[in-house]
Each structure stands twice: as C-alpha cells, then as structure tokens.
Amino acid sequence: ATAALGDALRTDHTGVAVYADDILLVSACDEAGARADRDRAAELCGQLGLPVAVEKCPPPAHVADYVGLRFSSRSDLTLVSVKPSTLQKLLGALDSVRAGGRISVSVHEPMLGRAYWLSCLCLPIKAWIRRLAQEIVPAARAPRRRFRWTSRAESAAKALSRLLHRSPSVRVRDVADRARGPDPRPKYLLATDACGQAGGAVLIDLHDPGSPWQVARFEWPEHIGSSTRSELLTATRALQHFRHQVAGTSVHLLTDNVATQAVSSRFRASLSAGHADDLAEELAEFLLHNRVRLDASHIAGVDNICADRLSRLSPQ
C-alpha cells in the first residue's frame, strides 16, 4: 500500500484512487466515541485524496492485531506487544536455521522484520534482534543459503526467545513520547565517569532540587583496558545500583564516552567491534524490565567533576 501510494502521488494522471489500507486508530473514547473518531479520520483521509472504505472497517474493539503486533486497551491505557502467532513464526524460523535448514529470504527476513517492528516500539529489544539479523541475513543472500549456527546466534536467539515469551507490553503513550525526542523533563540526571580501575556516578533528582545528591563508586576486580567498556560498565552498574529510585522513570545520562552515549538509542556500543555488546545487552535488559527511559548526552570529562573524582579515588 505504501509503494502504491508513493506511485500515485508522483503521477500527473487524474482519476487515480489509492485506498488507505492498514491504518490503526487508537481512540480514548467509548465505543460510540471511537466510531465517531473513525468517521472523522476517514473524512480527513478522503480530503487528502485517500478514500477509506469505512464499511469494511471492523467495529471498535479493545484488542486489535496490526502488522504483527497486538494492541490492547483498558480504561485510558493502551498497550502494544508482539502478536502470539508472529512470535511462534519467528521462533519456528529460528529453530529451522538452528537445525541446519535452508535459509529462505521470503521467510526469515520478514520474521526478523516483524521483530524489528517491536524493537521500534520497545527500543531495548534491538540489542538481540540486531545480533540475530547480523548472523542470519547475510547467509540468506549467499548462493547456497546454508548457515552455520554460531554461538553468537545461539545466545542472541535464547535471550530474544526469553524476552518475547514474557510478552513485554509497551505503553503506546510512551512510544509517542519517545518519538518526539529526548524527554524535556527527566526525573533524574545521572553523571558517570570511569577509568581502568573504577567508576563513579552521581544521581540528581531534578524534580526535587532540595534532595541530596546520591553518589556511588564501583571498583573493578582487574584493570579494564577499554575506555568504552569501563564507561559502559559504570553506567550499567550505576543504574542497577539506583534501581529502586529510577524504576519507572526517565533518566538523562551524562557521559564523556560517545559510544556509551550511543548505547541509549541503538544498544550497541561500537559499530566496528563487539567487545562491549554483552554490556549493551545487560543494560537493555535492565531498562526493559524496570521500564526506565534512558536518554544520553556527551559531556567533556573535565566538566564531569564529581563522577571523575569518584572514579579516581584511591582504593579504600
């Protein structure tokens, strides 16, 4: 439908009718109000040259399946999760590849694509879907389309299966807020810094200026040579340390490591190396289970005074 719409909008011919298909309308009204909302949406689409066949629309319902996802509403809360049949098809496709079966572009790419739909709504799941796609999709394009199941693919598949079997539900309102960009009024500000021996963190409650700053220091059992790994480990341990405060809230992270900043949006620390992917996935799972929204900004280490000093204290 999207391709047909694009072609129609680019043509100069008259009399071209393109029907708006696969539109999901979420209404906060009762059934009568939802029908009125549907009619208004259909009228608006018609004014834009996209007629909607209202007579073919299903009646308003509290549960609706849409492009592999399931939307459900109760009172003023609308949730979205993966559709059970989509989950079974995805896991079945993965099982066939694990068993040495032939990879089919028409089967495996759409299934991963459906999973990507969920990751667009629930960002942390990207961490495992991306790793699976990196393993499977290139093999699907190879001449023989045979794939040797690797330990990386196995660990990603197990983690993804575990997460999706729990059917994580995401609030549609949260998805809409996230799409508008970073939270303009986060509950907490978290500043972190690290060195090879330790990491430091400062948590500030932005909604209660009078509350004391909370600090934490983490020492590593052995030296960490990678700055990306030590910085990401510090951010992850800090969020876990302050779990009871940050659960269900929005946190803005200040870090002097660009890779750690990127993890908050793509859940992979480096595009060229996988030496911190395990930490990115650990962070993703924490955010998912504790419903923490994380945005991040880069701050020069010299300006990150409190966390920097905490990370460089002599071992006690």
What pLDDT score was predicted for residue 3?
A: 46
Residue 295 banded pLDDT, cuts 50, 70, 90: very high
Picking from 129, 152, 175, the residue at the C-terminal end of a domain is: 175
In terms of domains, do 108 and 91 share one?
yes
pLDDT category at 269 given cuts 50, 70, 90 is low
Question: Does 102 score more than 80 pLDDT?
Answer: no
Same domain, 171 and 185: no
Q: What share of the chain is helix, strand, coil (3-state, %, to 5)?
A: 50, 15, 35
Beta strands in the chain (DSSP E): 63-66, 69-74, 77-82, 170-171, 188-194, 198-205, 214-219, 250-255, 293-298
- 37 falls within a domain: yes
Q: What integer pLDDT is reported at residue 54 of this predicted model?
A: 78
Give the residue with greater pLDDT, 263 vs 140.
263
Query: What pLDDT, on the 0 to 100 scale, is given for residue 195?
Result: 86
Do residue 273 and residue 185 come from a single domain?
Answer: yes
Which range (133-137, 151-155, 240-244, 256-260) has the least confidence?
133-137
End-to-end CA distance of the chain: 64
Q: 88 in a domain, yes or no?
A: yes
The answer, yes or no, to whether residue 268 has pLDDT greater than 80, is no
Q: What is the CATH number of the domain that holds 222?
A: 3.30.420.10
Q: Considering only CA atoms, which of 251, 267, 229, 237 is closest in space to residue 124?
A: 267
Instruction: Decide if pLDDT at 234 tops 90.
Output: yes
Q: Are residues 56 and 127 in the same domain?
A: no
- Average pLDDT rounded to a whole number, residues 256-277: 70
The per-residue pLDDT for 68 is 72
Supply the pLDDT for residue 298. 84
In a domain, 75, yes or no: no
Note the pLDDT of residue 205.
95
Task: Tell me the pLDDT tens digit for each residue of 109-137.
Answer: 666 666 666 666 666 677 677 777 776 66
Q: Binning pLDDT at 50, 70 and 90, where does residue 96 land?
A: confident
Calpha distance 211→284 (Å, rounded) = 28
User: Are 111 and 153 in the same domain?
Assistant: yes
- The domain total for the chain is 3
pLDDT at 283: 87
Q: Does residue 67 belong to any structural domain of this protein?
A: no
| Residues 192 and 284 occupy one common structural domain | yes
d(CA 251, CA 62): 32
Q: Considering the chain, what percentage of its residues have pLDDT values greater than 70? A: 68
pLDDT at residue 13, as a whole number: 44
Q: 76 lies in a domain? A: no
pLDDT for 313: 61
Domain finish residue from 154, 175, 196: 175
Work out the average pLDDT over 188-204: 91
Q: Residues 154, 250: one domain?
A: no
The whole domain housing 226 covers 181-311
Secondary structure tally for the chain: helices H, strands E: 12, 9
Provide the pLDDT for residue 91.
Answer: 75
**Does 155 lie in the same domain as 212?**
no
Given a cut of 90, whether residue 237 has pLDDT beyond it is yes
Residues 6+ apart with CB under 8 A from 269: 228, 229, 232, 259, 260, 262, 263, 275, 276, 277, 279, 280
Q: Are residues 287 and 194 in the same domain?
A: yes
**Is 316 within the bounds of a domain?**
no
Judgement on whether residues 225 and 289 belong to the same structural domain of the protein: yes
pLDDT above 60 for 165: yes
Look at 45-54, 80-89, 99-108, 285-294 and tell me which has the smallest mean pLDDT. Answer: 99-108
Does residue 225 lie within any of the structural domains? yes
What pLDDT, on a 0 to 100 scale, did the predictor assign at position 74?
73
Whether the per-residue pLDDT at 63 is higher than 70: the answer is: yes
- 262 three-class SS: helix
- C-beta of residue 125 within 8 angstroms of C-beta of residue 288: yes
Q: Which of 146, 175, 204 is the last residue of a domain?
A: 175
126 occurs within a structural domain:
yes
Are 197 and 304 members of one domain? Answer: yes
Answer with the residue of higher pLDDT: 206 or 29.
206
When the pLDDT of each residue in the chain is averaged and rounded to a whole number, the result is 76
Verify that 146 and 216 share a domain, yes or no.
Answer: no
